[in-house]
Structure 1
Amino acid sequence: MKMIGMIGGMSWESSAEYYRLINRDVRGRLGPTASARCLLWSFDFSEIERLQNAGDWNALTAMMIDAARRLEAGGAELLIICTNTMHLMADAVQAAVSVPLLHIADVAADRLHAAGIEKAGLLGTAFTMEKDFYRDRLAARHGLSVVVPGAEDRAVAHRIIYDELVAGVVTEASRDAYRAIIARLVDAGAEAIILGCTEIMLLVQPEDSPVPLFDTTTLHATAAVEMVIG
């Protein structure tokens, strides 16, 4: 089994889910006493959030590259960034190390294609929904059509992630808000919904959507295990 290097702490709530899912999958594949060989670099998310809000993506890129290099030096043979938003600098991180970086959007696209989905709704932070790094990768590299919520819905989705989910707060009111946003994406033609923030799976379940949900946290963790076990 190869060593997974996890760049996490963004937030630790979802990083904990990654750790649980990866180890659960390894145990299921290799036996009851098996667990993953992994290293975790965990950021202080308050510092990450401050730089995000300031738009200092250069500083954030330098931090992510530093984390990736430290994990590689520690023996990591595969890297994963345990958050969708920070894949904004995934290409820069990959260019700075010699071990492969498993891109979360590529994993999601592979599963969407396997399910015969051509048009998907994207939920995530405002950065993920509004910047082109994620949508363009799905479209240009994978030929998928992506629809995002309207401005008001994007603001609601973002607020719930940063004010509640990263702090482990899950409320029925926020679940209802996401259900309504999902319904509007379906009305706009979405055949499936990409949960493009690794915390959303803490709030939204399959029964909350009339179309299939593609939880990037679980898909990313599963794909990482497949790569390190072979």
Structure 2
Amino acid sequence: MKKLGLIGGLSWGSTARYYQIINEGVAKRKGGLHSAPLVIESLDFATIAACTSMEDWDCAGSELVAAARRLEAAGAQGLMVCANSMHAIDRRISDAVGIPLIHIAEAVGARMKADGIKTAAIIGTRNVMAEKFYRQSLVSYGVSLLPPDMELAEKVDRIVYEELVHGKVSRESERFMKSELADIAKQQVQAVVLACTELEMIVDVRANLLPIYDSMSIHAEAGIDFILG
């Protein structure tokens, strides 16, 4: 098995889910007492959040590049960033190391292409919805996307940064997301992408009118594939 490096803490709760999903997947596919060979750099999310709130990608980039180099030095043969928004600087991170970066949006796009999905909506935080990097990745896999709903993105931002990164799950937020997903299902799309690693905390990805592509779980499964070659 290959050793995989995770840049986490973005937030720590979603990183814990990555760790769980990857280990469960390796154990299921390998059997016996097998678990995943992982190296984790869990960053201080407050430092990164301060950078991105000021749209200071250089600030965030220096933190993530340093983490990527430490993971490579620790023997990681591949790299994953356990967040969606930080893939805005994916090129800077991958150029700083000699190991491959498994891109979250490319993992989602490949899964959607394999499933024959041609139209979709994205739900994510303001950074993901406002920047082009995520949408361009999905479009490159033949997926046509609804225009970004920035009003929804602002509400998702509040839920994520005021609740989910603190481990808080409210019924109000669960109902809000269920209502938004029902509204999206009325439009001409085949699926919805959850482009935020915390949203699975308040969205039942198996109980919706449309197929839900949860970026976090799909990315983690790509990590399993890498580990097992």
- TM-score scaled by length of structure 2: 0.96
2:103 aligned partner: 103
1:178 aligned partner: 177
- 1:28 and 1:22, CA in 2 relative to 1: closer, same or farther beyond 3 A? same
Tell me the CA shift for residue 187 of structure 1: 2.8
Check whether the contact 2:9–2:42 (CA below 8 A) recurs between aligned residues: yes
Check whether the contact 1:48–1:60 (CA below 8 A) recurs between aligned residues: yes
How far does the alpha carbon of each residue in 1:78-101 deviate from its partner, in whole angstroms, 9 at most, with x for none? 100001110111111111111100
Tell me the CA shift for residue 226 of structure 1: 0.9
Distance in 2 separating the partners of 1:205 and 1:37:
29
- How many residue pairs end up in the alignment? 229
RMSD: 1.3
Q: In structure 1, the residue corresponding to 2:79 is in which secondary structure?
A: strand
Letter in 2 for 1:144: V
Matched, 1:204 2:210: no
Check whether the contact 1:4–1:37 (CA below 8 A) recurs between aligned residues: yes
2:131 aligned partner: 131
Tell me the CA shift for residue 188 of structure 1: 3.1
Q: In structure 2, the residue corresponding to 1:206 is in which secondary structure?
A: coil
Tell me the CA shift for residue 150 of structure 1: 2.6
Structure 2: give runs of 5+ residues left out of the alignment: none
1:159 aligned partner: 158
1:16 aligned partner: 16
Worse-matched range after superposition: 142-151 or 97-106: 142-151
Matched, 1:30 2:53: no
Distance in 2 separating the partners of 1:229 and 1:155:
38
Tell me the CA shift for residue 214 of structure 1: 0.7
Distance in 1 separating the partners of 2:16 and 2:147:
27
Tell me the CA shift for residue 207 of structure 1: 4.9
Check whether the contact 1:120–1:190 (CA below 8 A) recurs between aligned residues: yes
Structure 1: give runs of 5+ residues left out of the alignment: none
Q: In structure 2, the residue corresponding to 1:102 is in which secondary structure?
A: coil
Letter in 2 for 1:200: L
Worse-matched range after superposition: 11-20 or 117-126: 117-126
How far does the alpha carbon of each residue in 1:12-47 deviate from its partner, in whole angstroms, 9 at most, with x for none? 000000000000001101113111101000111111
- TM-score scaled by length of structure 1: 0.95
2:122 aligned partner: 122
